[in-house]
Amino acid sequence: MGTSTAKDRGKRRIIEKVRVIDPSRGLDASGHLVCEGGKILSCGEGPAPAELITPEAERIDASGLVLAPGFQDVHVHFREPGQEDKETIATGSAAAAAGGFTDVATMPNTTPVVDTAGAVRLILDRAREAGHCRVHPIGAISMGLAGEKMAEYADLVDAGAVGFSDDGRPVADGGLMRRAMDYSRILGVPMISHPEDLSLSAGGVMHEGAWSTRLGLRGIPYAAETAFIARDIELCRLTGARLHVCHVSSRQAVQLIRRAKEDGLPVTAETAPHFLDLSDADCADYDPRFKMNPPLRTIDDQEALIEALQDGTLDCIATDHAPHTATEKNRPFAEAPFGVIGLETSFAVCHDRLVRRGGMSLSRLIELMSGGGARILGLPKASLDAGAPSDFTLLDCEETWTPRGRDFASKGRNCPWLGRSLTGRVVATHLGGSFSFVRSSRLAESARA
Amino acid sequence: MLRNKDLLDLESLTAAEIKLILDTAEAFLAVMRRPVPKVPILRDKTIVNLFFESSTRTRISFELAEKRLSADIVNFSAATSSLSKGETLKDTVDNILAMRADMVVMRHSASGAARYLADRIPAGVVNAGDGMHEHPTQGLLDMLTMRQRMGTLQGKRVVIVGDIMHSRVARSNIWGLTKMGAKVTVCGPPPMIPVQMEEMGCTVDYDLRHAIEGADAINVLRIQLERQTVQTFPGNREYARLYRLDDEMLAATKPSCFVLHPGPMNRDVEITSEVADGRRQVILDQVTNGVAVRMAVIYLLSGGAPENLGENLN
């Protein structure tokens, strides 16, 4: 947005007649939020306390909307440095704000790779300049993602890295992963696994099943994911280090994680919106907008993932936002790169699929979209309690809309939901002392009134 | 009439459309037996042959079919086109659009490439093989050859032997034959049979001797050594031991059972020379039928009406 002045940032803002959902307090009620100078002064049921309503305060009638903690995404690709044609930290974080996010964690597979403190600082600086959301860099497990030599983890953590991953290039060497996990116990950050046995997924471009057989596309079997997760869970058992498992896509993977949690291991895991709403059948038209890694699995896997989000086996929803240029994606399916964007559609897709059609409570969805940062990466806890930072998002759960490429803040247009109708939309995002994103003209009118 | 401007696969054709193509091909076979085996039907049409993957027999067969229909022809092949200079398929498509070709025949190594092209140009597209997906004209010529021998495909049992996983010929055969009422069994070493194959409407048998019992036709596929990016079988010697069709095996089948092979053959790997040159093979009939089938497809996609065929051939 960048529309607010320094004066706006400090000023008192009162959001009224809004449905407030704060999973950290079990709160879901018609209420208010008052904030000033980047802090929440009051948030709860009923009207704002009379003593906080000052004449100069900006009052926003948000009736019909939902107010929730700012969303946090533990898995995005902003491509900067090195691949700015796909996305930049500025465009990626603008997309995050438009999607209701106040915190995102970026994967280190940039050019150069985020394996030095300098690279971490570059990302933090660029994010601060852009100012759309807080960006938390994830460092590389191995130098250059080459899977050979460990990065200087403590140096990276001091610079601001919140975790380590070789996302996209799994650590094939079990010995290296063991030592990295062992080391991470003195760092207080998790090792993050991109679970893929490359010898099993080699050449594959979609889920291995009836559809890959029919389409004549090489398949990626379940075992490419599960064999790797099983290894990393055993390394977690061996080292006692915290393990986070990325983009879980299948029923069998969920079962492995469920058992690890039952065993008391410090394992967390995420899944992505596309796995909850789409399946391998969506690849039937050879449209590369449905190509990502891990691949879209089956309806049965979809059901298992939703169940796992309900029962806590999966800790959060992360988009794996992976922008590519139109040129790169405009190729035959087998030749196009893996990856889809997701920040600007995540809430809509998850609300439509999980709440509207799936029977999940809105409160649980908000917890899954906002709770990951704290639980997994040690970021500040998403909360609307008095004294907490005034990071929140306003949602319209009734609005039905159709994503169009030209409306995205992201440079990416590789979105599976283009042209598909979705119910639920982010209206505004508030970061610290000001709005980082505002969509609705209605909100502006209310604010003026 | 065919419903679409393109022939991309046999999966989306109806039995009536397949029958129409096969019947039309029979009429063109008659033309091919004339002293001047050429008709002026497509005198005003331009056809572009785009071969991004090397091919000899399919490309020649298409060219011959096009020439016998009197079309103007432009040939691109991977080695000579700008594709080797890094041009994307999209740029190639734009160029074809600018040239205003009436029809494109394309072979490409990516499954779905023909669909990609067809979705982006108004000209008709004939898929001459897309990756591991389909090779519809091969499926049609196999079916024409079988129909000539058996009179009908309804209720007949066809066994397809070989590397089913990598075979676009197998997929087109399965869709086409099952639509025409035939029963299809695929046979080969397990790593060469893709998962959930049965969902395409065929049965799977890993034992060749057992699979060919009572079969009406056996379609032996080429072991595509060039597509084995990883080893999917121990080697040619072991393959031959388990899956090579020889005279002894053939002797145990119905006397009327005959053998097809889409070529080019790896003699003595998937088929013995005795069988390949024997009296129960129809391999050269397939080649002749290939030209007729391709003439039929191009004729029908160019808007040629089946009922005018007799008149057009005069």
DSSP A9-64: HHS-EEEEEEEEEEGGGTEEEEEEEEEETTEEEEEEESSPPGGG--TTSEEEE-TT
Share the mean pLDDT of chain A: 95
Whether residue A216 and residue B89 make contact (CB cut-off 8 A), yes or no, is no
In a domain, A1, yes or no: no
Domain membership of residue A246 (yes or no) is: yes
Asked if the structure places residue A230 within a domain, the reply is yes
CB–CB of B112 and A334 under 8 A? yes
Residue percentage of chain B with pLDDT more than 70: 95
- Region B95-120 average pLDDT: 92
Q: Each residue of A265-287: pLDDT tens digit?
A: 999 999 999 999 999 999 999 99
Which value does ipTM take for this structure? 0.93
Do residues A93 and A216 both lie within one domain?
Answer: yes
The answer to whether residues A210 and A273 belong to one domain is yes
Min Cα separation A300/chain B (Å): 16
Residue A77 falls within a domain, yes or no?
A: yes
* Partner-chain contact B196 A210, CB within 8 Å: yes
Within a domain: A111: yes
Chain B residues with beta carbon closer than 8 angstroms to that of A208: 195
Residue finishing a domain among A377, A407, A434: A377
CA quadruple A83, A84, A86, A92: dihedral sign: positive
Q: Are residues A127 and A59 in the same domain?
A: no
Confidence of residue A10 (pLDDT cuts 50, 70, 90): confident
CB-hemisphere CA count at 13 Å for B243?
A: 29
Return phi, psi of residue A62, to 5°.
Answer: -110, 35
What's the pLDDT score for residue A2? 43
Q: In this prediction, what percent of chain A has a pLDDT beyond 70?
A: 96
Same domain, A231 and A183: yes
Mean pLDDT score, A319-333: 95
Number of domains in chain A: 2
Same-domain status, A277 and A298:
yes
Per-residue pLDDT band at A48 (split at 50, 70, 90): very high
Decide if A299 touches B, using CB distance below 8 A: no
| pLDDT tens digits for range A381-417 | 999 999 999 999 999 999 999 999 999 999 999 999 9
Q: Which of A210, A215, A335 sits opposite B199 (nearest CB)?
A: A210
Whether B102 shows a pLDDT value over 70: the answer reads yes
User: Residue A387: phi, psi to the nearest 5?
Assistant: 100, -20
List the single residue in A with minimal CA-CA distance to B198: A210
Query: Are A214 and B195 inside 8 Å of each other by CB?
Result: no
In angstroms, rounded to a whole number, what is the distance separating the alpha carbons of residues A92 and A94? 5
CB–CB contact B90 A330 (8 Å): yes
**Rounded distance, CA B58 to CA B210, Å?**
32
Of B116, B194, B199, Cβ closest to residue A286? B116
Name B204's bridge partners.
B186
Percent of chain A that is helix, strand, coil (3-state, to 5):
35, 20, 40
DSSP assignment of A381-425, as one string?
PP--STTSB--EEEEEEEEEE---GGG-SSS----TTTT--EEEE
Evaluate whether B170 touches B154 at the Cβ level (below 8 Å): no
**Pick from A208, A218, A331: CB nearest B89:** A331
Contact A329, A336 (CB under 8 A): yes
Residue A114 is assigned to a structural domain of this protein: yes
CB distance A332–B90 less than 8 Å?
no
Give B108's contacts in chain A (Cβ within 8 Å): 332
Determine the average pLDDT of the residues in A231-256. Answer: 98
Q: In this model, does residue A365 exceed pLDDT 60? A: yes
Quote the CA–CA distance of A252 and A230 in Å, as a whole number: 10
Q: In this structure, are A130 and A198 located in the same domain?
A: yes
Give the A window 328-367 contacts with B, CB below 8 Å. 330-335
Return the CATH number at A290.
3.20.20.140
Q: Which residues of B touch A216 (CB under 8 A)?
A: 111, 130-134, 168, 171
Between chain A and chain B, the number of residue pairs with CB atoms below 8 A apart is: 71
CATH code for position A21 = 2.30.40.10
Positive or negative CA dihedral for B218, B219, B223, B227? negative
Name every chain B residue with its beta carbon within 8 A of the beta carbon of A210: 195-196, 199
Of the candidates B133, B196, B230, which has its C-beta nearest A216's C-beta? B133
Task: For residues A215 and A350, state if they share a domain.
Answer: yes
In the numeric block, which tokens belong to residue B137? 């004209």
Q: Kindly determine whether residue A333 and residue B111, on different chains, have CB atoms separated by under 8 Å.
A: yes
| Preferred mutation among A212, A286, A300 to probe B, highest tally of B CBs within 10 A | A286
Nearest CB to A332; choose among B116, B134, B196: B116
Q: Does A387 touch chain B (CB under 8 A)?
A: no
Contact A216 B199 (CB under 8 A): no
Which among A203, A208, A217 has the least Cβ separation from residue B111?
A217
CB contact under 8 Å between B130 and A333, yes or no, is no
Q: Which residue of B has its CA nearest to A284?
A: B112
- Cis, bond preceding A294 (omega within 30 deg of 0): yes
DSSP codes of every residue in B211-276: HTTT-SEEEEPP--GGG-SS--SS-HHHHHHHH-B-HHHHHTS-TT-EEE--S---BTTTB-HHHH
Q: Which of A410-414, A431-435, B19-23 has the lowest mean pLDDT?
A: A431-435
Which of B64, B128, B19 is closest to B288 using CA atoms?
A: B64
Q: Which residue of B has its CA nearest to A216?
A: B133
Q: What pLDDT sits at residue B86?
A: 60
Per-residue pLDDT, B49: 95
**Is the peptide bond prior to A81 cis by the omega test (within 30 degrees of 0)?**
yes
The backbone torsions φ and ψ at residue A385, rounded to the nearest 5 degrees and listed phi first, read -70, 150
Measured CA to CA, the distance from residue B167 to residue B193 in angstroms comes to 10
- Distance from chain centroid for Cα A227: 25
How confident is the model over B120-141, as a mean pLDDT? 96
* Domain co-membership, A53 together with A78: no
CB contact under 8 A, B195 and A210: yes
Q: Is residue A159 part of a domain?
A: yes
The reply to whether A289 and A341 lie within a common domain is yes
Please give the residue range of the domain that contains residue A286.
71-377
Tell me the pLDDT tens digit for each residue of A65-113: 999 999 999 999 999 999 999 999 999 999 999 999 999 999 999 999 9
Instruction: Region of A237 please: left (phi>0), alpha (psi -120 to 50) or beta.
Output: alpha
Question: What confidence category does residue B269 fall into, taking pLDDT thresholds of 50, 70 and 90?
Answer: very high
Interface of A with B in 198-217 (CB under 8 A): 202-203, 208-210, 212-217
Q: Is the pLDDT of residue A345 over 90?
A: yes
- A352 is annotated as an active-site residue: no
In the predicted structure, residue A207 carries a pLDDT above the cut 90: yes
Instruction: Tell me how close the Cα of A216 comes to any Cα of chain B, in angstroms.
Output: 4
How far does the CA of residue B78 sit from the closest CA of chain A (Å)? 16
- Chain B hits for A219, CB-CB cut-off 8 Å, are 194-195
Q: Does B134 touch chain A (CB under 8 A)?
A: yes
CA dist B29 and B289 (Å) reads 7
Check whether residue A204 and residue A271 sit in a common domain.
Answer: yes
- Which residue of chain A is at minimal alpha-carbon distance from B135? A216
Residue B310 has pLDDT above 80, yes or no: no
pLDDT band for position B233 (50/70/90)? confident
Inter-chain residue contact A216 with B130, CB threshold 8 Å: yes
What was the pLDDT predicted at A8?
Answer: 62
Residue A195's nearest CA partner among A263, A248, A256, A259 is: A248
Please say if the pLDDT value at position A449 is more than 50. no
In a domain, A383, yes or no: no
Are A214 and B11 inside 8 Å of each other by CB? yes
Between CA B211 and CA B4 the distance in angstroms is 36
Which pLDDT score, from 0 to 100, does residue A131 have? 95
**Residue of chain B minimizing CA distance to A332:** B113
CB contact under 8 A, B113 and A332: yes
> Of these residues, A28, A115, A301, A320, which one is catalytic?
A320
Residues A441 and A364 in one domain: no
The residue among A317, A342, A377 that closes a domain is A377
Q: Which of A346, A377, A408 finishes a domain?
A: A377
The average pLDDT across A121-147 equals 97
Whether A409 and A373 share a structural domain: no
Is B132 within 8 Å of A335 when comparing Cβ atoms? Answer: no
